[in-house]
């Protein structure tokens, strides 16, 4: 799977080739913090790729210690992870599986790095930063 991102003056474009099809997506460019526009475009193109993106993730994480995990958002851990599930797995399960075997983990944004607003009192979802949810050595 190949992913390309171009940050332009008005739009950030993402292109994904999954070995079978080419997927594209656009998101508004965010000059104050370009990572936000990049993440929005990447999320949009991965959503368009659907199951193929899930298959690519599964293939990538089999190569333990040879990939870099980039995480955006806090990890809700309350109610046994029921507040955020993808494909029948909680966000915590996915984070443990992906981040636990990564060469490095990059937490993008306040929520991923520090828990952000979701972790503020009263924190009903028991949101944690990536580092708190998946401690690394």
pLDDT tens track for 48-77: 887 677 787 888 899 899 999 999 999 999
pLDDT tens track for 117-130: 999 999 999 999 99
What is the residue-wise DSSP string for 6-19?
A: EE-SSEEEEEEE-S
**pTM, two decimal places:** 0.66
pLDDT tens track for 10-43: 999 999 998 888 999 999 999 998 988 998 898 8
Cα–Cα distance measured from residue 114 to residue 58, given in angstroms and rounded to the nearest whole number: 27
For 7, phi and psi rounded to 5 degrees? -95, 115
Provide the Cα torsion 32, 36, 41, 45; round to 10°.
Answer: 170
DSSP code for 84: S
Q: How many CB atoms lie within 10 A of CB 104?
A: 11
> For the chain, what is the largest distance between any 2 Cα atoms, rounded to a whole number of angstroms?
46
Contact of 15 with 41, CB cutoff 8 Å = no
What is the bridge-based pairing of β-strands 11-17 and 22-28?
Answer: antiparallel
pLDDT tens track for 94-116: 999 999 999 999 999 999 999 99
Beta-carbon contacts of 122 under 8 Å, excluding residues fewer than 6 positions away, are none
């Amino acid at each position: 799977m190949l992913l390309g991102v171009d940050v332009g003056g008005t739009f950030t474009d993402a292109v994904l080739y999954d070995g079978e099809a080419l997927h594209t997506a656009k998101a508004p460019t965010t000059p104050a913090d370009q990572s936000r526009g990049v993440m929005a475009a990447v999320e949009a193109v991965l959503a368009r790729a659907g199951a193929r993106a899930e298959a690519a993730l599964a293939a990538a994480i089999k190569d333990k210690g040879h990939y870099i995990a980039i995480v955006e958002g806090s990890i809700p851990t309350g109610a046994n992870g029921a507040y955020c599930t993808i494909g029948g797995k909680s966000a915590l399960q996915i984070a443990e599986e992906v981040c636990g075997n990564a060469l490095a983990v990059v937490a993008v944004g306040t929520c991923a790095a520090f828990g952000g607003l979701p972790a503020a009192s009263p924190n009903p979802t028991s949101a944690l930063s990536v580092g708190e949810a998946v401690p690394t050595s």
